[in-house]
Amino acid sequence: MDTMRAGRMIEIGRMECEEIEIPSIRDGQVLIRSEMASICGSDLHVVMMGAGVTHSLPCPHGYPGHEGIGEIVESKVSGLLEGEQVLTFPNPPVGECFNEYQRVEAQYCVPLPDTELPRSHLLMAQQLGTVIYAMRKCQRDVAGETVVVMGQGSAGLFWTHLLKTAGAKNVIVSDISPARLKVAASYGADMCIDIRNGNLHEAVKDSTKGKGADYVVEAVGRAETFRESVDLVRADGEIIWFGLPSVDHDIDMRFHKFFRKRLRASSIYGAQDEPQATSFRAALDLISKGHIDVESLLSHVFNIEEIGEAFALAHDPHEDEALKVSIKFD
């Protein structure tokens, strides 16, 4: 019996590596030997906080991993060949990216481009692709505007870069990590607020002469930042709630202020199901052609046997200045 190493959520706050049988695939799937996987902020909300868990504990092996790269070793799909290197982006409920071998439906993987960049760089295309997708679905012309991006994890950093590239005049960002804020500055942020010793609301007021930001992106997913986003935006402004909620229960919001400011707000979810995986392909193109440098994001890589330690660091990253925490299978 051929076996593989597999990450498994045993209970809330606990991931372990186990040895299990390599699964078989059915028509429409490929079997991929995983090279790397990354821990998404949404994975932390599921594993470390118990928000949005879609299975009984202990969960299926590989769940909720949905950011991966690897090599097709068996294919039951026309057009996807054994030996091809691919980016994988399954929906989290069926994600197996934390397994050494993962089963993936055809529409949830695309071939990697030919590039001399390290493969770890291309892994970042999954997260970048979700931001590209959100910007396409919730289009806004930010040219000349003041925008705020709350949270500078990998998703927030990609928002910062893409909004500045799109012509935003003043990009104000916030986080509690000096390491992340340093990267944000290199990605185009005009003002970086460490909220442990700075006041984001006051900084936005000062920068906009009391009006508030034109556009606010909440890329944290916590109740307090969700509520604060309403305070930061100007009258007739716009909010996008991008961060996956860190709780399953209802979140109170300042609706009286939202109503009187005549605000517009959107949430976005489901980049994995975009036809032709257009946004993930665009992300691979941007990275492979050097239009965005992701090297500074790749701070910590753990072996699959250390998946528990990897999640612990990703959940509490600041002392070790962690940005994107990844798993390798070599």
Whether pTM exceeds 0.95? yes
Q: Read off the pLDDT of residues 167-222 as tens digits, 9 standing for 90 and up.
A: 999 999 999 999 999 999 999 999 999 999 989 999 999 999 999 999 999 999 99
Residue 33 bridge partners (DSSP): 71, 101
Q: Given a cut of 90, is residue 318 above it in pLDDT?
A: no
Burial classification of residue 166, based on how many CB atoms lie within 10 Å of its CB (0-12 exposed, 13-18 middle, 19 or more buried): middle
| Length of the chain as a residue count | 330
Calculate Rg over the CA atoms of the chain: 20
CATH number of 3-127+277-328: 3.90.180.10
Contact present, 158 and 127 (Cβ < 8 Å): yes
- In this chain, the answer to whether the domains covering 3-127+277-328 and 139-267 adopt an identical fold is no
Closest CA to 263 of 218, 196, 301: 218
Give the domain ranges of the chain: 3-127+277-328, 139-267
Distance CA 199, CA 166 (A): 26
Contacts of 199 (CB under 8 A, 6+ apart): 193
Distance CA 31, CA 106 (A): 10
Work out the percent of the chain whose per-residue pLDDT is above 70: 100
Contact present, 154 and 297 (Cβ < 8 Å): yes
Question: What is the predicted pLDDT for the residue at 55?
Answer: 97
What fold characterizes domain 139-267?
Answer: Rossmann fold (3.40.50)
Q: Given a cut of 90, is residue 247 above it in pLDDT?
A: no
Q: Read off the pLDDT of residues 25-70 as tens digits, 9 standing for 90 and up.
A: 999 999 999 999 999 999 999 999 999 999 999 999 999 999 999 9
Contacts of 289 (CB under 8 A, 6+ apart): none
Contact present, 110 and 68 (Cβ < 8 Å): no
DSSP-based three-state secondary structure for 308: helix
Contacts of 24 (CB under 8 A, 6+ apart): none
Q: Given a cut of 70, is residue 1 above it in pLDDT?
A: no
Closest CA to 243 of 226, 260, 259: 226
CA distances from 173 to 149, 232, 261, 317, 320 (A): 5, 12, 22, 18, 21
**How many CA atoms are closer than 13 Å to the CA of 125, on its beta-carbon side?**
34
Report the relative pairing of strands 170-175 and 264-267 from DSSP bridges.
unpaired
Contact present, 280 and 288 (Cβ < 8 Å): no
Q: Read off the pLDDT of residues 34-46 as tens digits, 9 standing for 90 and up.
A: 999 999 999 999 9
For the chain, the average pLDDT equals 96
**Residue for token digits 């305070």?**
231
- Structure tokens of 82? 């054994």
Q: Read off the pLDDT of residues 255-272 as tens digits, 9 standing for 90 and up.
A: 999 999 999 999 998 999
Distance CA 57, CA 253 (A): 31
Question: What is the predicted pLDDT for the residue at 244?
Answer: 84
Distance CA 251, CA 262 (A): 20
Distance of CA 230 to the CA centre of its chain: 23
